[in-house]
Structure 1
Amino acid sequence: MTRSMTAFTRQEIQQPWGTLIWELRSVNHRYLEPHFRLPDSLRDIEGGLREALRKAISRGKIEATLRFVPEKSGGALQVDQERLAEVLAATRELTAAGAEMAALNPLELLSWPGVLVESALDMQAVRQQALQLFRQGLDDLVVGREREGAELSQLIHQRLDAIDAIVADVRRMMPQILQGQRDTLQQRLAELSGELDAGRLEQEVVLLAHKADVDEEVDRLNTHVQEVRRVLKGKGPIGRRLDFLMQELNREANTLSSKSIVAATTRSAVELKVLIEQMREQIQNIE
């Protein structure tokens, strides 16, 4: 399926620990060129992100931005059992040494530095969710690229149809063009010499026909058009192959123009080159 290299997606998820937001932008590029903007606390997931990206996309400049907004309410309060055990052990030592101590107040124990702590954020869960959300974003990005790629394919097919029509017209016109040039040449030779030399006429007609013979170019144009249609139906990256075929089509259009002996074929060659250039511009955005 034809894929464009241009797409955008935004993915967001909210969890008790905060909010994750991914924004993925894709534009055309000769190779795959990823750029990640990540919070410092999530830098270590970049390797997994690059691996997932390589599996999903072959070409394009990808800008991936992740925003992490932790919940301001903070985590739940927990008792540091180790710290509490240390405080209790210290009180027992004082009692064993003969110090008189009142009954321990639980609230006073909780107020001791380090006994009551706020639970730490589970960053492993955040990392896993960020990776999963990124994969969802990639799936959506690919769908967008395929959707735009289908539109590009339709535009290219329209121009291929126009090229087929022009090539058919050129093929149909050539016998009439050659006969017209033969008649014109015969008239000029008659005017110049007064007495027509049949051998000289045939020689000039053969040279003219050789110069104006575009059957080979027309056949190759048809072949290249068929190949473009076949490639558009293929799977995987096809942009570079299509770009090569545009060069081949343009070469045949230039040759057709150089062999033109009447204005009609010159116009046809110009129209072909315009259509080929329009396709080439669209193909620059195909993966």
Structure 2
Amino acid sequence: MSIASMTGFARAEGAVGDFGWTWELKSVNGRNLDVRCRFPSGYEHLDAFIRSRTAETVKRGNLAVTLSVDDAASQGRLTVNRVALQQILDVIAEFGGRISAEPPRLDGILALKGVLDVELPQIDEAEAAKRTEALQRGFGQAIDGLSEMRKVEGKRLADLIGAHLDEIERLCQAAATSAGAQPLAIRQKVEKQFAELLQGLAPLSEDRLAQEAAMLAGKADVREELDRLTAHIAAARDLMAKGGAVGRKLDFLCQEFNREANTLCSKSADIGLTSIGIALKAAIEQLREQIQNIE
């Protein structure tokens, strides 16, 4: 399975006789699958189908679905609700002499709710079923097109994520070989600091000095953090190779990457190792930004 992005756009249109339609789909990042539909009046019955069909193809992201229709044979015609109009005229006649106001204009009366109606021609069941089938088939084309676009974008993201993982691995190797990460170098540095601090004072015994130096050297040892970072890199590459909806798992791994990098920087007492740690954190942040787009 391939990696898919959560961003994409698709459009599908078609016609059945004089009845034309257009689907537009736009998707962006989201924690879960959130589908929002906009239908013309009378097409709300498509909602359940849209959600079911979408869930088969898209696993995560905010998806906006818009349907536009153009029915040249069913534009309808305006009709006057004469009962409602007469009631309004009766009210005007009754209160017209009691209220000091300008007489109402015809366009104002016709604009009142319920006076003008749009009469739509009736569509038989066979024609309605034919239109519904065409709309569903068109939506299938649109959602498949959206899925394909998300996969194309996912391929680009996969290349970027792979490059970021390579950079993180390179920095981990640099940290492992730096002088600040070598146990002997750490121990020698600690012993030197002890010697400077105790200058002029009664020296510590060799055993006590070795014990304190070993304890401080252990606290400054970053090999465990580097081992865990290496394991996280391997896990991220396995997820990328597996494909599918792995965005959440990759996001969790990024949190673990950050935790180990922060610990490495806090332990470091060496300028060179600290510099590598800062670069490592920057590379992890770049990785996280790309992973936020993965389904």
Identity, % of aligned positions = 36
Show the 5 A alignment for 1:79-118. none
Residue type at the aligned position of 1:208: L
CA 192–218 in structure 1, closer or farther in 2 if over 3 Å, else same: farther
The CA deviation string for residues 84-141 of structure 1, in whole angstroms up to 9 with x for no partner, is xxxxxxxxxxxxxxxxxxxxxxxxxxxxxxxxxx994722211111100100111110
- Runs of 5+ unmatched residues, structure 1: 75-117
Aligned position for 1:27: 28
- Runs of 5+ unmatched residues, structure 2: 76-120
SS of equivalent to 1:160: helix
SS of equivalent to 1:169: helix
Aligned position for 2:47: 46
Aligned position for 2:251: 243
Show the 5 A alignment for 1:264-275. 264-275=272-283
- The one of 275, 279, 287 equivalent to 2:287 is 279
Aligned position for 1:254: 262
The CA deviation string for residues 134-172 of structure 1, in whole angstroms up to 9 with x for no partner, is 001111100111111111111111111111111111111
Give the TM-score taking structure 2 as reference length.
0.76
Aligned position for 2:218: 210
Output the CA distance in 2 between the equivalents of 1:224 and 1:17. 58
CA 222–238 in structure 1, closer or farther in 2 if over 3 Å, else same: same
The CA deviation string for residues 21-73 of structure 1, in whole angstroms up to 9 with x for no partner, is 11000011111110111122322122111110111111111101011111359
Query: 2:252 matched to 1:234?
Result: no
Residue type at the aligned position of 1:3: A
Output the CA distance in 2 between the equivalents of 1:243 and 1:62. 21
- The one of 160, 164, 169 equivalent to 2:169 is 164
Aligned position for 2:137: 132
SS of equivalent to 1:64: strand
Residue type at the aligned position of 1:66: L
CA 125–184 in structure 1, closer or farther in 2 if over 3 Å, else same: same
Aligned position for 1:143: 148
**What is the CA-CA distance between 1:278 and the residue it aligns to?**
1.5
The CA deviation string for residues 224-245 of structure 1, in whole angstroms up to 9 with x for no partner, is 1110111112233111111111
Give the TM-score taking structure 1 as reference length.
0.78
Aligned position for 1:109: none
Deviates more, 1:240-249 or 1:273-282: 273-282
Residue type at the aligned position of 1:172: T
The structure having more radius of gyration, on CA atoms, is: 1
SS of equivalent to 1:146: helix
Residue type at the aligned position of 1:15: V
For these two proteins, the number of residue pairs brought into alignment is 244
Output the CA distance in 2 between the equivalents of 1:252 and 1:126. 58
Residue type at the aligned position of 2:261: A
CA 169–188 in structure 1, closer or farther in 2 if over 3 Å, else same: same
**What is the CA-CA distance between 1:255 and the residue it aligns to?**
0.9
| Structure 1 vs Structure 2 CA RMSD | 2.4
User: In the alignment, is the contact (CA less than 8 A) between 1:189 and 1:201 conserved in 2?
Assistant: no
Query: 2:138 matched to 1:153?
Result: no
Output the CA distance in 2 between the equivalents of 1:52 and 1:255. 46
SS of equivalent to 1:9: strand
Output the CA distance in 2 between the equivalents of 1:139 and 1:177. 59
User: In the alignment, is the contact (CA less than 8 A) between 2:175 and 2:276 conserved in 1?
Assistant: yes
Query: 2:123 matched to 1:123?
Result: no
